[in-house]
């Protein structure tokens, strides 16, 4: 049975990811990316969520014609899911190409309850 903290984190991830999809569909790429960063923080423990977030960031980079973001996301897509499976996570990392992939970062206050132990996964 899933831990309640893990379930709450996954639900929070799904909310952020859904909002990011809406922003992307509306063409609000700045907001979509901001929400994708939040989804990344929450989704890092899961292969599917982590990889999907990098895929969305790549699509946003492509629509922005941002070569640095596209290249950064291609590299992250090739490793991010595997790192999730291995549990090698830089907590709080927002996942964009503007930050080093292994750099831990502060977790936003409103996301912190989902990310802190025990059982945060």
* 111 in a structural domain: no
- Report the alpha-carbon angle 75-30-116, nearest 5: 65
Per the structure, the complete domain to which residue 24 belongs is given by: 4-101
39 with 4: CB under 8 angstroms? no
In three-state form (DSSP H/G/I as H, E/B as E, the rest C), the secondary structure along the chain is CCCHHHHHHHHHHHHHHHHHHHHHHHCCHHHHHHHHHHHHHHHCCCHHHHHHHHHHHHHHHHHHCCHHHHHHHHHHHHHHHHHHHHCCCCCCCCCCCCCCCCCCCCCCCCCHHHHCCCCCC
Report the distance separating Cα 119 and Cα 121, nearest Å.
5
Question: If you search the block for the tokens 């936003």, which residue do you land on?
Answer: 108
Average pLDDT score over the chain: 91
* 54 in a structural domain: yes
Q: Taking 70 as the threshold, does the pLDDT of residue 120 lie above it?
A: no
Q: What is the pLDDT of residues 56-104, one digit of tens each?
A: 999 999 999 999 999 999 999 998 878 888 888 899 999 999 999 889 9
Report the distance separating Cα 61 and Cα 96, nearest Å.
10
% of the chain surpassing 90 pLDDT: 78
* 96 in a structural domain: yes
pTM: 0.90
Q: Taking 90 as the threshold, does the pLDDT of residue 5 lie above it?
A: no
* 107 in a structural domain: no
Q: Which of 78, 82, 26 is nearest to 54 (CA)?
A: 78
* 95 in a structural domain: yes
* 120 in a structural domain: no
pLDDT of residue 80: 80
Domain count, the chain: 1
Give the pLDDT band (50/70/90) at residue 1: very low
């Amino acid at each position: 049975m899933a831990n309640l903290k893990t379930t709450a984190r996954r639900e929070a991830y799904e909310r952020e990811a859904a909002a990011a999809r809406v922003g992307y569909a509306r063409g609000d790429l700045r907001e979509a990316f901001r929400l994708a960063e939040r989804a990344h923080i929450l989704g890092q423990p899961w292969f599917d969520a982590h990889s999907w977030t990098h895929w969305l960031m790549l699509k946003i980079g492509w629509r922005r014609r941002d070569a640095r973001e596209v290249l950064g996301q291609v590299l992250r897509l090739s490793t991010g899911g595997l790192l999730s499976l291995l549990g090698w996570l830089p907590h709080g990392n927002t996942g964009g190409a503007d930050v080093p992939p292994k750099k831990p970062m502060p977790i936003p206050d409103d996301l912190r309850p989902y990310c802190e132990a025990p059982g945060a996964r």
